[in-house]
Amino acid sequence: MAIEGEFLGGGHEVGRLGILLKCRDQRMLFDYGMTATDPPQYPAPAPPIDFMFLTHSHLDHCGMIPWLTARYDIDITSTGVSREVGVLLMEDSVKIGAAEGYPEPYTSEDIKIAKRRFSDIMFGDTVDAGDTQVVAHPGGHIPGATMYELVDRKTTLVTGDIHTLETRLVQGAKPVKCDNLIMESTYSGRNHPSRLKTEYSLLKKIEEVTNRGGTCIIPSFAVGRTQELMLLLKDSRYEFWLDGMGRKVNKIYLRYPEYVKSAKRLRQAFRKTREVRSVHARSRALKGDIILTTSGMLDGGPVVSYIEAIRDDPKSAILLTGYQVEGCNGRKLLETGTMDFRGVTERVQCEVLKFDFSAHAGHDELLAFAKGCDPEKIVLMHGDQREILAGDLRADGFEVLLPRNGEKFNL
Ligand SMILES: [Zn+2]
Ligand SMILES: [Zn+2]
Per-residue model confidence (pLDDT) at position 326: 81
Contact 378, 186 (CB under 8 A): no
One domain, residues 130 and 19: yes
Per-residue model confidence (pLDDT) at position 37: 79
Q: How far is the CA of 141 from the centre of ligand 1 (A)?
A: 7
Neighbouring residues of the ion ligand 2, judged by CB less than 5 Å: 60, 161
One domain, residues 159 and 139: yes
The phi and psi torsions of 30 (rounded to 5 degrees) equal -110, 115
The phi and psi torsions of 127 (rounded to 5 degrees) equal -120, 140
Contact 112, 154 (CB under 8 A): no
Q: How far is the CA of 153 from the centre of ligand 2 (A)?
A: 29
Q: How far is the CA of 358 from the centre of ligand 1 (A)?
A: 10
**Domain of 144?**
3-190+359-410
Q: How crowded is the C-beta side of 380, counted as CA atoms within 13 Å?
A: 30
One domain, residues 213 and 333: yes
CB atoms near residue 104 (< 10 Å): 17
**Domain endpoint, select from 308, 330, 354:** 354
Per-residue model confidence (pLDDT) at position 103: 85
Per-residue model confidence (pLDDT) at position 254: 95
* pLDDT, tens only, 312-346: 999 999 999 998 988 889 999 999 999 999 999 99
| Number of domains the chain contains | 2
Per-residue model confidence (pLDDT) at position 102: 84
Per-residue model confidence (pLDDT) at position 224: 97
Q: At residue 290, does pLDDT exceed 80? A: yes
- Is the preceding omega at residue 143 within 30 degrees of 0, hence cis? no
CA dist., res. 399 & res. 379, Å (int)? 9
Q: How far is the CA of 58 from the centre of ligand 2 (A)?
A: 6
- Is the preceding omega at residue 295 within 30 degrees of 0, hence cis? yes
**Domain endpoint, select from 330, 354, 378:** 354
* pLDDT, tens only, 195-250: 999 999 999 999 999 999 999 999 999 999 999 999 999 999 999 999 999 999 99
- Cα-based angle 145, 147, 150 (whole degrees, multiple of 5): 150
Over residues 354-368, mean pLDDT: 97
Q: How far is the CA of 286 from the centre of ligand 1 (A)?
A: 30
CA dist., res. 372 & res. 358, Å (int)? 22
One domain, residues 318 and 372: no
* CATH number for 338: 3.40.50.10890
Q: How far is the CA of 85 from the centre of ligand 1 (A)?
A: 12
One domain, residues 87 and 183: yes
* CATH number for 66: 3.60.15.10
One domain, residues 24 and 122: yes
Q: Whose CA is closest to 43, among 92, 105, 88, 95?
A: 105
CA dist., res. 107 & res. 97, Å (int)? 10
Q: How far is the CA of 350 from the centre of ligand 2 (A)?
A: 31
Q: At residue 97, does pLDDT exceed 80? A: no
Contact 130, 28 (CB under 8 A): no
How high does pLDDT run on average in the chain?
96
Q: How far is the CA of 165 from the centre of ligand 1 (A)?
A: 15
Q: How far is the CA of 183 from the centre of ligand 1 (A)?
A: 13
Q: How far is the CA of 35 from the centre of ligand 2 (A)?
A: 9
Residue 342 class from Cβ within 10 Å (0-12 exposed, 13-18 middle, 19+ buried)? exposed
One domain, residues 334 and 277: yes
One domain, residues 321 and 400: no
CA dist., res. 332 & res. 339, Å (int)? 6
Q: How far is the CA of 59 from the centre of ligand 2 (A)?
A: 8
Q: How far is the CA of 267 from the centre of ligand 1 (A)?
A: 23
Contact 169, 226 (CB under 8 A): no
The model's confidence at residue 100, banded by pLDDT at 50, 70 and 90, is confident
Sign of the torsion angle spanned by Cα atoms 317, 322, 327, 329: negative
Q: How far is the CA of 126 from the centre of ligand 1 (A)?
A: 23
One domain, residues 366 and 350: no
Sign of the torsion angle spanned by Cα atoms 22, 28, 30, 33: positive
One domain, residues 142 and 20: yes
Cβ contacts of residue 277 below 8 Å, gap of 6+?
Answer: none
Q: At residue 34, does pLDDT exceed 90? A: yes
One domain, residues 276 and 382: no
One domain, residues 236 and 278: yes
Per-residue model confidence (pLDDT) at position 323: 87
